[in-house]
Amino acid sequence: MSRLSNITISMAQETVEELYKDIERNIQTSQPGLCPVDLAAAFIHLSHARSCGKCTPCRVGLGKLEDLIEAVLDGKATIEDIDEIEKMSDTIFRSADCAIGSEAARMAVKAVKGFRDDFEEHVKYGRCKFQNFKSVPCVSECPAHVDIPGYIALINEGRYDDAVKLIRKDNPFPATCGMICEHPCEEHCRRKLVDDAINIRGLKRYAVEHESEIKAPVCAEATGKKVAIIGGGPSGLTAAYFLSVMGHECTVYEQRDKLGGMLRYGIPSYRLPREILDKEIEGLKLSGFKTITNISVGKDITLEQLRKDYDAVYISIGAHTDNKIGIDGEDAEGVISAVEMLRGIGDGNMPDFSGQDIVVVGGGNVAMDVARSAIRLGAKTVKIAYRRRKVDMTALAEEVEGAVADGCMILELNAPTRIEKTDDGKVAALWVQPQIVGEVKWGRPAPVNADSPEVRLACDKVLVAIGQGIESSHFADNGIPVNRRKIAAKDTADFDGIDGVFSGGDCVTGPATVIKAIAGGKVAAANIDEYLGFDHEITSGVELPPVRFADREPMGRVNMTERPASERTKDFDLMEFPMTDQEACQESARCLQCDHFGCGKLKGGRELKW
Amino acid sequence: MVNLTIDGKKVCVNEGVTILEAAKSAGINIPTLCYWKGLNEVGACRVCVVEVEGIRKLPAACNTAVHEGMVVHTNSRKVRDARKTNVQLILSEHDCRCPQCIRSGNCSLQTLAQDLNIIDIPFAKKVPENTYSKSFPLNRTNSKCIKCMRCIQMCEKQACNIWDLINTGSRSTVGLREGYSLEESNCALCGQCITHCPVGALTERDDTTKVIDALNDPDKIVVAQIAPSIRTAWGEAWNLSAEEATVERLASALHIMGFDYVFDTNFTADLTIMEEGSEFLARLGDADNSKLPLFTSCCPGWVRFVKSHYPEFVDNLSTAKSPQQMFGAVAKSYYADILGVEPSKIYCVSIMPCLAKKHECAIPAMNDACGDPDVDVVLTTREVDRLIRSEFINPAEIEDRALDMPLGIGSGAGNIFGATGGVMEAALRSAYFLVTGSNPDPDAFKDVRGQDGWKEATFDINGTTLKVAVVNGLGNADKLLKALKSGKVSYDFIEVMACPGGCVGGGGQPIHDNVEMAPERAPTLYSQDAASDLRFSHENPSITAIYKDYLGKPLSEKSHHLLHTDHHAWSMPNE
């Protein structure tokens, strides 16, 4: 007899492990809009299959819970049964011996509390209340609802001009978005069921890079209506572009020297090269809108005046003020806000950090941008102090990884407490209090002070990147509703009781993504057009090729590659390599064409106009 | 052109053509179930799957375009297995009690199962329950629904959008997009979901028993009116042509069943022209033109649609009742006087191509003749066919019988009411006469004929230019009202029929899977009009008589009382 043996994984177990991976991806692609009760039932069933069966509440109770929820789904339960589900879940949670039973029951408790009205709808009317099946996940997840399967099909056919034309129907910033969009479209890409999401952003960039030339859009007959747009960022320029295409006379008021807003004054050029941004904006201007730069609404001209001079006004001022940490010593020379630093860089004023030790405070994408810029500006060391864990950072994982590769050091679980000054008032060090990760609050574990002393991080500069605010006081003073500095426009970009004023972009949503700002401009353009008494339609006129019918066998996703860190950190040139022809051809063929296959064919496959 | 091989045959077709169409062009039939050309090409049933060499998955032939060099097998083992399994799966959830199903014998699923030689179902039977009430004119039987999605698509095409795919997974089914019952919905009752349903899931409320009860009640004088479009379609159940299945043959069948008198709705179509035409000229003469354009109001599906979707346009509807309701009001007043009987003894049955008519006759305000409903019951063409069958009458073997008088005579103008453009054309013929005192060429207004969804025409009558529009199908009506609302178009007079092609394509007409019947049936009405000696409503002798003896003149007080209605007297659920 052998006392011990090595574990060999059986074929069955190996297959199960594979199936676990499949279900992991399956759940990742699960888009919003599905029946929550049906999903809850499936999750409890899955948990029940994991039960070892030793304990009563888990072995028997979960089954009874499933029966009850199935009865709800079949419309055969009573309202009292919903209470019974809640009570039973609570009992299982309390009396189960291990987490398999108690966590399954906790899901049931959450479900009943979270969408009790849907349980009731099933009981009373035998149907789901919240279901709103999204046929084409990428299109519905894109705030601007760009026809993604459409342009990917065109890329696959080599029709790049048409692909970009189709994108411009909903999003006039294809080049910019090809570089820096956060691609929410990829989040629930159905291709993940097979292997991995389509590299949609990369394909968009590829299409733009192969567009022959930007042609002036065909504009509708002049309407004689005038629209003022306050702020020349992505949201304002989107509105100006579409409104010009609709035949309205638009004027963009921009307080800075150049157009682009946060694209220029917030995003470093190694992610979005200035020549690409400039070319994109010049292309937009072909639609015919006027621009006035270096003019600040509130100082040089009032909102009231604009309302008098124009038929409609769109406020898209963005979120350009910095937030303060609120610690001692923040007034020291050498404490620079991220907004200030990136704005300077945007205007071409490159600070010199040669040989300096830099500490960045913050954990968002902007913190990564300033940290990586600091490296490129010659800093000797760059540390990123963050009070939570690295995994809790709000920055995209790839940005965090990129910053580390560039040479930034991440000091997770370190909360800034004060800034030490030199005698002449300059930054000497940032003091941080080490933290320990604690209880989960609002979905994220909150840090608490660790039982260890403060740590001194000697440095020359502290770069503060803890969010931006909105300079909305002039608008508030002029009767525009403002809520915590955000302009309180409705989802339709207008305001109750205020005629002819619309607002969107970061100044309404708070600092968000470029595609959200673009979507805000698109919504505003449509509703301003309607307000002005028109119903212009925006179409692309692009016909799609016949749907490809092919087996879509598992095939790896083409990821974007970057210049090596040792090279890219020496300049502000574009960091990311483009897709090759071979890669774009393969990647575009991976698209499952959800606009045709599945529910897309039945409803909402393609929106040809808006 | 694209070259491909289907079942060994070389086929050359245009680019973009589906495998299904390519096969058809080569004489190869691929079975379908959910497919309806141009309406529902969603590949839901997976019956039309075929095998394409080099590809593991089986594409749906109905919505996969041909590719150069493609080699297709429509009946390989894989295809046969998949096709048969899918139909068996559908049958496992279908209430297969065919003998008691209205669609037995005209059911795509039944035919397909037989064609595929399915004699058993290897799966456990799990038929969903029925939850809807049976009181609304439109019934849905959940246990028969095969989720083909045609009704959803048709309802969307009709701009009503009451049907939707609800729930997920195994419980996915067709249900109401909003609200909980058909009664509370914005259903226009066009019935197009029924005529596009491949099985017996969607049906009209069966009112045949009410008619049988009345026929067996010795105290009732049962009269029938037959709508214009019935004569184009009622004989299809016996494969009779329209030349054979005449209105006189139908009258004969109804008499055999025990109807006392059989009349023609064409008569009250002519009466509608007199009233609505006069109303139009009166509105046109109004200084401010505030009530223009005038909308026709003979189609109750259209009236329901306006009231629920565009209530701001309700006052544009003509106040003239529909021919059906005028008939009821006249039958229970004028005709009761002629017979010398109490109006309440008359039981008025309408034979209509329509479901909305079932609602219209039940509107409480439609009781102007004697306080009872002017029309007691409406049978669709399909119901009257079922009634004839249940009496074991073979229409091919009976003699024609003339309609009864005086309400059994109609003009050719009244006859064309059953097709899109017909009401407008009939109205213009008489309006011309009313304005100029002489008749136009009866075909002077033929520009408004035809199956186009939205037609426009301009006519000059005595120096006045009239701009008219004719639309059919509620989707087109929706577009027209939107354009009217935004000021993009303007007209003086608009005819709308809710069903595609008008009443000939009505939701109560016989069902033919995958064929839009309106273009086939409409020519019958026009050839009958052309062959008629009587082509103007105002020349109908019974019309002249009723005005002389009873009503006085169009828009008289008596006409107003009997022949006009207040569209605000009742409400749609969401109005």
Rounded Cα distance between A238 and A231, Å, is 11
Å from B168 to nearest chain A CA? 6
User: Tokens representing A118?
Assistant: 């849907």
Question: Quick check: A457 and A494 in contact, CB under 8 A?
Answer: no
CB spacing of B167 vs A602 below 8 angstroms: no
User: Residue B203: which of B134, B288, B125 has the closest Cα?
Assistant: B134
Compute the half-sphere exposure of residue B370: CA atoms within 13 Å on the CB side of its CA: 22
Question: Quick check: B225 and B264 in contact, CB under 8 A?
Answer: yes
CB spacing of A601 vs B166 below 8 angstroms: no
At which residue do the structure tokens 């859009």 appear?
A217
Query: Among residues of chain A, what percentage have pLDDT more than 90?
Result: 84
A483 CB burial (10 A radius; 0-12, 13-18, 19+) = exposed
pLDDT for A131 beyond 80: no
Q: Would you call A328 helix, strand, or coil by DSSP?
A: strand
Q: Which residues of B touch A38 (CB under 8 A)?
A: 167-169, 171
CB spacing of A602 vs B149 below 8 angstroms: yes
CB spacing of A549 vs B52 below 8 angstroms: yes
Q: Which chain A residue is nearest to residue B165, measuring alpha carbons?
A: A133
Å from B112 to nearest chain A CA? 23
pLDDT of residue B179: 82
Tell me if chain B has a CB within 8 Å of the CB of A132. Answer: no
Rounded Cα distance between B367 and B362, Å, is 9
Which DSSP helix (H) or strand (E) runs through A227?
strand A226-230
Question: To the nearest whole number, what is the mean pLDDT of chain A?
Answer: 93
Four-point Cα dihedral B46, B50, B52, B56, nearest 10 = 40
Among A residues 181-220, those touching chain B with beta carbons less than 8 Å apart: none
Q: Which residues of A touch B16 (CB under 8 A)?
A: 546
The stretch B488-515 carries a mean pLDDT of: 96
Tell me if chain B has a CB within 8 Å of the CB of A34. Answer: yes
Which residues, listed in sequence order, are joined to residue A503 by a DSSP beta bridge?
A315
Rounded Cα distance between B557 and B551, Å, is 8
Tell me if chain B has a CB within 8 Å of the CB of A602. Answer: yes
Per CATH, A34-125 and A324-467 having the same topology is answered no
Q: Which residues of A touch B149 (CB under 8 A)?
A: 602
Tell me if chain B has a CB within 8 Å of the CB of A554. Answer: no
- As a whole number of Å, the end-to-end CA separation of chain B is 53
Question: Quick check: B199 and B146 in contact, CB under 8 A?
Answer: yes
pLDDT of residue B384: 98
Rounded Cα distance between A27 and A192, Å, is 9
- Which fold does the domain A324-467 belong to in CATH? FAD/NAD(P)-binding domain (3.50.50)
Mutation target among B18, B155, B167 for the A interface, most CBs of A within 10 A: B167
User: Tokens representing B465?
Assistant: 């230019």
Q: Which of B64, B166, B486 sits opposite A549 (nearest CB)?
A: B64
The strand pair at A455-458 and B261-264 is best described as: unpaired
Tens of pLDDT along B460-473?
988 889 999 999 99
Rounded Cα distance between B21 and B24, Å, is 5
Interface size between A and B, measured as CB pairs under 8 A: 56
Rounded Cα distance between A554 and A557, Å, is 9
Which residues, listed in sequence order, are joined to residue B3 by a DSSP beta bridge?
B12
Kindly report the backbone phi and psi dihedral angles of residue B36, in degrees, each rounded to the nearest multiple of 5, phi listed first.
Answer: -140, 115
Q: Which of A73, A131, A603 sits opposite B166 (nearest CB)?
A: A131
User: Taken in order B339, B345, B351, B356, is the CA torsion positive or negative?
Assistant: positive
pLDDT of residue A204: 98
User: Residue B44: which of B128, B126, B145 has the closest Cα?
Assistant: B145
In this structure, the number of other CB atoms found within 10 A of the CB of residue A392 comes to 16
**C-alpha to C-alpha distances, A199 to A192, B173, B190, B554, nearest whole angstrom:** 11, 34, 47, 72
Geometric angle at alpha carbon B511, from B505 and B517, rounded to 5°: 35
Q: Which residues of A touch B486 (CB under 8 A)?
A: 535
The strand pair at A455-458 and A427-441 is best described as: antiparallel
pLDDT for B543 beyond 70: yes
Question: Quick check: A408 and A361 in contact, CB under 8 A?
Answer: no
Rounded Cα distance between A141 and A518, Å, is 14
The stretch B204-229 carries a mean pLDDT of: 97
Kindly report the backbone phi and psi dihedral angles of residue B510, in degrees, each rounded to the nearest multiple of 5, phi listed first.
Answer: -55, 150
Tens of pLDDT along A69-84?
999 999 899 999 999 9
Residue-range domain boundaries for chain B: 2-91, 128-203, 209-563
pLDDT for B134 beyond 90: no
- The one-letter code for the residue type at B461 is I
Tell me if chain B has a CB within 8 Å of the CB of A549. Answer: yes
Rounded Cα distance between B536 and B428, Å, is 10
CB spacing of B55 vs A550 below 8 angstroms: yes
Distance of CA A401 to the CA centre of its chain: 18
Question: What one-character DSSP code corresponds to residue B345?
Answer: G
The stretch A91-114 carries a mean pLDDT of: 94
The stretch A485-508 carries a mean pLDDT of: 94
pLDDT of residue B289: 59
Tens of pLDDT along A277-336?
999 999 999 999 999 999 999 999 999 999 999 999 999 999 999 888 889 999 999 999
CB spacing of A133 vs B165 below 8 angstroms: yes
pLDDT of residue B96: 94
pLDDT grade, residue B489 (50/70/90)? very high
The stretch A256-272 carries a mean pLDDT of: 93
CB spacing of A602 vs B165 below 8 angstroms: yes
The stretch B444-455 carries a mean pLDDT of: 94
pLDDT for A34 beyond 90: no
- As a whole number of Å, the end-to-end CA separation of chain A is 76
Query: Among residues of chain B, what percentage have pLDDT more than 90?
Result: 91
pTM of the model: 0.89
Distance of CA A161 to the CA centre of its chain: 27
The stretch A97-109 carries a mean pLDDT of: 94
Which DSSP helix (H) or strand (E) runs through B261?
strand B261-264
Which residues, listed in sequence order, are joined to residue A414 by a DSSP beta bridge?
A434
CB spacing of A549 vs B59 below 8 angstroms: yes
Question: Cβ contacts of residue A487 below 8 Å, gap of 6+?
Answer: A315, A470, A472, A475, A480, A481, A503, A507, A508
**C-alpha to C-alpha distances, B190 to B234, B358, B502, nearest whole angstrom:** 18, 11, 10
Rounded Cα distance between A11 and A24, Å, is 20
Tell me if chain B has a CB within 8 Å of the CB of A352. Answer: no
Among A residues 571-600, those touching chain B with beta carbons less than 8 Å apart: 596, 599
pLDDT of residue A452: 95
Q: Report the complex ipTM.
A: 0.82
User: Tokens representing A323?
Assistant: 């937030």
Q: Which of B57, B63, B166 sits opposite A128 (nearest CB)?
A: B166
pLDDT for B285 beyond 70: yes
Å from A125 to nearest chain B CA? 7
A545 CB burial (10 A radius; 0-12, 13-18, 19+) = middle
B68 CB burial (10 A radius; 0-12, 13-18, 19+) = exposed
Compute the half-sphere exposure of residue B224: CA atoms within 13 Å on the CB side of its CA: 29
pLDDT of residue B169: 86
Q: Which of A126, A133, A601 sits opposite B43 (nearest CB)?
A: A601
Rounded Cα distance between B49 and B43, Å, is 9
User: Residue A572: which of A448, A384, A406 has the closest Cα?
Assistant: A406
pLDDT for B287 beyond 70: no
The stretch B561-567 carries a mean pLDDT of: 96
Q: Would you call A601 helix, strand, or coil by DSSP?
A: helix
Rounded Cα distance between B26 and B408, Å, is 50
User: Tokens representing B219?
Assistant: 């105290």
Rounded Cα distance between A307 and A253, Å, is 13
CATH class of this structure's domain B128-203: alpha beta
The stretch A373-382 carries a mean pLDDT of: 96
CATH code of domain B2-91: 3.10.20.740
Q: Which of B56, B131, B149 sits opposite A126 (nearest CB)?
A: B131
Tens of pLDDT along A203-232?
999 999 999 988 899 999 999 999 999 999
Tens of pLDDT along B388-441?
999 999 999 999 999 999 999 999 999 999 999 999 999 999 999 988 999 999
Q: Which of B15, B153, B167 sits opposite A127 (nearest CB)?
A: B167
CB spacing of B55 vs A551 below 8 angstroms: yes
Which of 1.10.10.10, 3.40.950.10, 3.30.70.890, 3.90.470.20 would CATH assign to domain B209-563? Answer: 3.40.950.10
User: Taken in order A171, A173, A177, A182, is the CA torsion positive or negative?
Assistant: negative
Tens of pLDDT along A386-415?
999 999 999 999 899 999 999 999 999 999
Question: What one-character DSSP code corresponds to residue A391?
Answer: G
CB spacing of B63 vs A596 below 8 angstroms: yes
Q: Is A533 left (phi over 0), alpha (psi -120 to 50) or beta?
A: left
pLDDT grade, residue A522 (50/70/90)? very high
The strand pair at A226-230 and A249-253 is best described as: parallel
Q: Which residues of A touch B175 (CB under 8 A)?
A: 127
Question: Cβ contacts of residue A432 below 8 Å, gap of 6+?
Answer: A385, A411, A414, A415, A416, A417, A454, A455, A457
Which DSSP helix (H) or strand (E) runs through B468?
strand B464-472
Compute the half-sphere exposure of residue A262: CA atoms within 13 Å on the CB side of its CA: 31
pLDDT of residue A483: 92
Q: Chain B interface residues facing chain A, Cβ-Cβ under 8 Å?
A: 15-16, 41-44, 52, 55-57, 59, 63-65, 67, 131, 149, 152-153, 156, 165-169, 171, 175, 180, 486
pLDDT grade, residue A9 (50/70/90)? confident
User: Residue B59: which of B69, B71, B68 has the closest Cα?
Assistant: B71
Rounded Cα distance between A435 and A455, Å, is 11
pLDDT grade, residue B227 (50/70/90)? very high
Query: Among residues of chain A, what percentage have pLDDT more than 70?
Result: 100
CB spacing of B41 vs A601 below 8 angstroms: yes
Rounded Cα distance between A452 and A439, Å, is 19
A451 CB burial (10 A radius; 0-12, 13-18, 19+) = exposed
User: Cis peptide before B293, with omega less than 30 degrees from 0?
Assistant: yes
CB spacing of B166 vs A74 below 8 angstroms: no
Å from A373 to nearest chain B CA? 49
Q: Which of A38, A551, A596 sits opposite B168 (nearest CB)?
A: A38
pLDDT for B301 beyond 70: yes
pLDDT for A462 beyond 90: yes
Q: Which chain B residue is nearest to residue A122, measuring alpha carbons?
A: B167
pLDDT of residue B275: 96
Which of 3.40.50.2300, 3.90.1150.170, 3.90.550.10, 3.50.50.60 would CATH assign to domain A226-320+470-531? Answer: 3.50.50.60
CATH class of this structure's domain A144-215+543-602: mainly alpha
Tell me if chain B has a CB within 8 Å of the CB of A546. Answer: yes
Q: Would you call B10 helix, strand, or coil by DSSP?
A: strand
- Which fold does the domain A34-125 belong to in CATH? de novo design (two linked rop proteins) (1.20.1440)
Residue-range domain boundaries for chain A: 34-125, 144-215+543-602, 226-320+470-531, 324-467
Q: Which residues of B touch A74 (CB under 8 A)?
A: 171
CB spacing of B171 vs A549 below 8 angstroms: no
User: Residue A239: which of A526, A551, A573 has the closest Cα?
Assistant: A526
Å from B46 to nearest chain A CA? 12
Å from B55 to nearest chain A CA? 6
The stretch B23-39 carries a mean pLDDT of: 96
Q: How big is chain A by its Cα radius of gyration, in Å?
A: 27
User: Residue A233: which of A274, A155, A173 has the closest Cα?
Assistant: A173
Q: Which of A73, A127, A596 sits opposite B175 (nearest CB)?
A: A127
Mutation target among B21, B57, B63, B168 for the A interface, most CBs of A within 10 A: B168
